[in-house]
C-alpha cells in the first residue's frame, strides 16, 4: 500500500500517471471522508478512477458510482468436475452454443418474450419502482425485455474449474440500458446544479448531489432500484446457464454455493466513526469473511475470495484485472492470432471482435491479486473451459 496523500491510499503497484492524477483530484473534494482508497486494478475512468472506493459525507458524485449501476459478478459451484465436462460426447462447443441461445448477448440485446423465471423478478421490480414513485420506461422502454441479457464489452459468461477440478458457472453483467440511462440522467442533473449554484469543479464529471435535497433523494431511490435490477439480471441469466448446463449434462445441476456481488454501487456504511456514503466504482465489499468474486481478463484466472476486513481500504477489494490499454489502443496493438494463442484450450467464439478484450490489454491478474493480499483471502482459483461474450 502507498500513501499518496493524506486523503489518498493506493494498493495499485501498476498505476499510470493520468489515473493517479485523477484519483488525487477526486480525493480533494471537500466531502470525501476520511480518504479515498484506490484498488490494485485502478485505471482511468469518467470523473473518478475505476477501482476507487470513495466515502462521502452529505453528498454523492453520480459519476463516481459508474454508468453501469450495480454491475457485478455471480458464480455457482456445481457438483460436476472438469472430467465430467470433458467426457461429455456432446462437446464444449455445443454447451457454449446452448448458452448463447438462452442468453441474449451484445449491446441492445433483448428477449423476445418474458420467460417463466423472469416474470416474478419483473413483478418485483415493477413494485419497487411504483413504491419509489418513478417509471423505468421513461429511461428505457424495453427494460423488462432486457432482464436476463448480457451486454457487451467486458461482460461474459464462463464455465470454469477450480484447483480441485470442481466446475463453476460464472458471469459478469449489470443493469443494462435502463441503469445506464438512470446514471446518465443524474450525472446531468448534478452538472446543471453545479452551474446553477456557481460551483467550480476540477472536473465537471465530479458534479455532486447534496443530501437532503429532492435531487439527492430521487437519485438514491432510482440508484437502489437499478442496483436491484442488476442483481436480478445476473440471477436470471445464471438460472438460464444452470438450465442449459443441466440439459447438456443430462442431469440437474446441484448448486453447492451461489455468490452474487456488486462492484459499481453505493451503500451507507460506518467508517472511522462516521456514517458515510461509500461509492465503490470497480470494487467489491470485503468485510472480514464476506464472499466475493474477482475475475481476471478473457483467458486468464478468476478468483473466489473472502474479505480480510481491511479498515484502511474501507473493507473493499479489487473487482478484476483493470485495463492497461484502452479499447482503441488494444485493437491497434494486438492481433487476432494473439487472441487465439491467449485462448488456447478454451472454447470460445473465435472472432476478431474480441481483440480489445485480449488478456494483454489488462493488468496481470496475478499481480493484482498479490497487491490485494491484505484485502482478501483466496478461496478458489478458477480456470476457464468455456467463454461466452457479446460483440
End-to-end CA distance of the chain: 37
Angle between helical axes of 214-249 and 118-132 (0-180°, round to 10): 180
DSSP letter (8 states) at residue 76: E
Comparing CA positions, the residue from 1, 31, 101, 22 lying closest to residue 281 is 22
228 is catalytic: no
The one catalytic residue among 155, 319, 336, 380: 319
Q: Are the C-beta atoms of 12 and 42 separated by less than 8 Å?
A: yes
Strand partners, 337: none
Question: Is residue 365 exposed (0-12), middle (13-18) or buried (19+ Cβ within 10 Å)?
Answer: buried
Q: What angle do CA 358, 360, 361 make, to 5 degrees?
A: 70
CA dist 208 and 194 (Å) reads: 8
Task: State how far the alpha carbon of 289 is from the alpha carbons of 284, 304, 316, in Å.
Answer: 13, 12, 12
Q: Which helix (H) or strand (E) holds 318?
A: strand 316-318
Mode of pairing for the β-strands spanning 36-43 and 376-389: unpaired
Per the CB < 8 A criterion, the answer to whether 157 and 388 are in contact is yes
For residue 204, what is the DSSP state?
G
- For residue 125, give the nearest of 140, 111, 112, 105 by alpha carbon: 140
Give whole-number Cα distances, 147 to 35, 99, 110, in Å. 36, 16, 8
Helix (H, G, I), strand (E, B) or coil at 170: strand
Name the nearest CA neighbour of 257 among 306, 199, 329, 295. Answer: 306
Which are the catalytic amino acids? 319
Amino acid at each position: 500500500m502507498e500513501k499518496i496523500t493524506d486523503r489518498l491510499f493506493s494498493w495499485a503497484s501498476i498505476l499510470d500517471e493520468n489515473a493517479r492524477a485523477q484519483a488525487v483530484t477526486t480525493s480533494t473534494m471537500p466531502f470525501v471522508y476520511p480518504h479515498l482508497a484506490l484498488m490494485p486494478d485502478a485505471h482511468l475512468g469518467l470523473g473518478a478512477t475505476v477501482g476507487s472506493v470513495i466515502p462521502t459525507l452529505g453528498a454523492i458524485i453520480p459519476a463516481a458510482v459508474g454508468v453501469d449501476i450495480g454491475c457485478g459478478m455471480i458464480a455457482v459451484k456445481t457438483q460436476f468436475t472438469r472430467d465430467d465436462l470433458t467426457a461429455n460426447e456432446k462437446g464444449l462447443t455445443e454447451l457454449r452454443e446452448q448458452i448463447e441461445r438462452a442468453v441474449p448477448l451484445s449491446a441492445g440485446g433483448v428477449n423476445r418474450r418474458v420467460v417463466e423465471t423472469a416474470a416474478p423478478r419483473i413483478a418485483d421490480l415493477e413494485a419497487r419502482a411504483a413504491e419509489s414513485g418513478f417509471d423505468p420506461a421513461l429511461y428505457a422502454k424495453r427494460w423488462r425485455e432486457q432482464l436476463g441479457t448480457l451486454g457487451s464489452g467486458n461482460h461474459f459468461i464462463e464455465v470454469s474449474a477450480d484447483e480441485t477440478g470442481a466446475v463453476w458457472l460464472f458471469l459478469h453483467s449489470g443493469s443494462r440500458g435502463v441503469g445506464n440511462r438512470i446514471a446518465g440522467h443524474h450525472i446531468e442533473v448534478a452538472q446543471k446544479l453545479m452551474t446553477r449554484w456557481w460551483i467550480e469543479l476540477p472536473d465537471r464529471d465530479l458534479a455532486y448531489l447534496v443530501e437532503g435535497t429532492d435531487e439527492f433523494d430521487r437519485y438514491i431511490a432510482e440508484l437502489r432500484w437499478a442496483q436491484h435490477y442488476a442483481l436480478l439480471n445476473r440471477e436470471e441469466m445464471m438460472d438460464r446457464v444452470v438450465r442449459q448446463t443441466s440439459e447438456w449434462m443430462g442431469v440437474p445441476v446441484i448448486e453447492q454455493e451461489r455468490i452474487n456481488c456488486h462492484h459499481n454501487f453505493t451503500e451507507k456504511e460506518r467508517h472511522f466513526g462516521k456514517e458515510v456514503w461509500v461509492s465503490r466504482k470497480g470494487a467489491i465489499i470485503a468485510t472480514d469473511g464476506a464472499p466475493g468474486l474477482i475475475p481476471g481478463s478473457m483467458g486468464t484466472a478468476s478468483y473466489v475470495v473472502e474479505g480480510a476486513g481491511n479498515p484502511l481500504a474501507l473493507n473493499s477489494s479489487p473487482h478484476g484485472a483493470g485495463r492497461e490499454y484502452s479499447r482503441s489502443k488494444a485493437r491497434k496493438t494486438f492481433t487476432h492470432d494473439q487472441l487465439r494463442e491467449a485462448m488456447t484450450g478454451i472454447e470460445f467464439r473465435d472472432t476478431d471482435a474480441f481483440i480489445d478484450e485480449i488478456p494483454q490489454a489488462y493488468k496481470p491478474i496475478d499481480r493484482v491479486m498479490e497487491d490485494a493480499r491484505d484485502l482478501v483471502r483466496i478461496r478458489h482459483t478458477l480456470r476457464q473451459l468455456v467463454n461466452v461474450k457479446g460483440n
